[in-house]
Amino acid sequence: MDDLTSGQVETLRDLARKKTGEAVGFVNIADARALTELGLAHRSQEGWDITPEGTALLARDAPPPANVDPG
């Protein structure tokens, strides 16, 4: 996610929360369009949606859970 702006990362996170059914506010259209060009989001009748590629990017860069025993 080093190539994304902080606004694009936040928009991607908002879209991920939206996908789970959580209520999210308005997204920045410029950020959403940029994510669309990168294949991380797409436009639907319901607004902007995260793509599988966007979900994978967030999962890859997510920190590990704090309660995991490193073994």
- pTM attached to this predicted model: 0.81
For residue 64, pLDDT over 80 is answered with no
Amino acid at 38: L
For residue 51, pLDDT over 80 is answered with yes
Give buried/exposed letters for 45-71 (b at 16+ CB in 10 A, else e).
Answer: eeebbbbeebeebbeeeeeeeeeeeee
